[in-house]
Homo-oligomer: A and B are copies of this chain.
């Protein structure tokens, strides 16, 4: 992909974002993009190629927002980021003149997305890419559910350190109130809320409001994924304890 891009635009500045995701894991890609894209300069072209349906009938899209352009398969991988952006234009990538001469059925990253991105970086307008689309595939975002005095969330992403990042954010914590907050995992496990990883002793679990803006379950100096058996979908429940937390 980088060779193709530089062949068309030698001045392109290409940055790798995430190559450690599980192959074909659309939700992990969507989360990774959602929490990172806004740290890139205005005008960045975000190209995402988590594409298990490559070669099938899934569309390929270019979506222009107020600040960025997003390119990828229309499988939802772009949707969590796009939910935070003002969308200006959606196009289906169909102008084959912008593709490599031979398009394989297994690697559209190289054959379609890379040359289209290079052309965009050189100033070609979005309308040259193909016909407009009215929408695009959106992944369901799992909203935390209130039940009595508790708020039931879930793990949505495991990062490369083994931290289990949830769908619970600062607003979720506020919803539970100003008193102490308990964090319960499955099998009766719980962990204290902490301001940072080392707020608990080495090897102990802690829930931290992390750099993505979401509460994450971590082990100080270890992997919550391995030690606690956490995976996407695992329940994480917030409850009001009435008393202040100690491990701040």
- Give me the interface of A with B, judged by CB distance under 8 Å: 2-4, 6-7, 10, 13-15, 23-24, 36, 39-42, 44, 52-56, 104-107, 110-111, 160-162, 195-199, 208-211, 216, 220-221, 223
In the complex, the answer to whether A3 meets B40 with C-beta atoms within 8 Å is yes
CA distance A53 to B13 in the complex (A): 32
In the complex, the answer to whether B40 meets A211 with C-beta atoms within 8 Å is no
Q: In the complex, which of the residues B10, B44, B54 contacts A13, with contact meaning CB atoms closer than 8 Å?
A: B10
Q: In the complex, which of the residues B6, B15, B52, B210 contacts A40, with contact meaning CB atoms closer than 8 Å?
A: B6
* Extra 16 A-B pairs, beta carbons < 8 Å, given A23-B160, A105-B208, A107-B211: A3-B39, A3-B41, A6-B13, A6-B41, A7-B39, A7-B40, A10-B41, A23-B223, A52-B197, A52-B220, A53-B198, A54-B196, A55-B208, A56-B198, A105-B209, A106-B216
Residue of A42, A162, A208 ringed by the most chain B CB atoms within 10 A? A208
A-B contact pairs, 22 of them (CB 8 A): A3-B41, A3-B44, A6-B13, A6-B15, A6-B41, A7-B40, A7-B42, A10-B13, A10-B41, A23-B160, A23-B162, A52-B220, A55-B195, A55-B208, A56-B198, A104-B211, A105-B195, A105-B208, A106-B208, A106-B211, A106-B216, A110-B211
- Among residues of B, the one whose C-beta sits closest to the C-beta of A109 is B211
CA distance A148 to B197 in the complex (A): 46
- Among residues of B, the one whose C-beta sits closest to the C-beta of A213 is B104
In the assembled complex, which residues on chain B have CB atoms less than 8 Å from the CB atom of A106? 196-197, 208, 210-211, 216
In the assembled complex, which residues on chain B have CB atoms less than 8 Å from the CB atom of A54? 196-197
CA distance A206 to B45 in the complex (A): 34
